[in-house]
Amino acid sequence: MPLAKIHLLEGRYEQSRIAKISSAIQSALMNTLRVPPDDFYQLIFELPKNRFLHTPAFVGMHYSDDLIILEISFIQGRPKETRLALLKDINTRVAAAAGISPDDLMIALYEAPGENFSFGQGEAQRAKAVAPA
């Protein structure tokens, strides 16, 4: 049940490029986390320059106006190796699909227990879910 929040600079990406980014993220989630195709939740935020603030460089990365900040929340339980593979898979796919530098994708992963998520009706449908290894 990954929820992806995609943050980017307003006016920097045309709709077709945003669609490629969206598809690349979902493909990586399906490939690395083995989520089914219909497990698709994304929020895309295009922010004006005065609301999309970041350093020009950090830990050896150099950022341009192409910077995408991606937050992904999902049910906890996957091993560290899987999460590390997900970071790499998303970066590779998005950089290629969007035609950006691999530096220009910052990713934050958030894990929480299944009982913290409701898909509707106020029920925790995944309360007993165990993430696949």
pLDDT (tens, 9 = 90+) of the chain, 133 residues, equals 899 999 999 999 999 999 999 999 999 999 999 999 999 999 999 999 999 999 999 999 999 999 999 999 999 999 999 999 999 999 999 999 999 999 999 999 999 998 888 889 888 888 877 666 5
Across the strands, what pairs with 47? 9
Helices and strands (H and E) in the chain: how many: 2, 6
H or E element, residue 24: helix 15-28
pTM as predicted: 0.92
- Distance (Å, whole) CA 130 – CA 114: 8
CA angle at 32 for the pair 28 and 36, rounded to the nearest 5° = 80
Which sign does the torsion angle of CA 61, 19, 97, 92 carry? positive
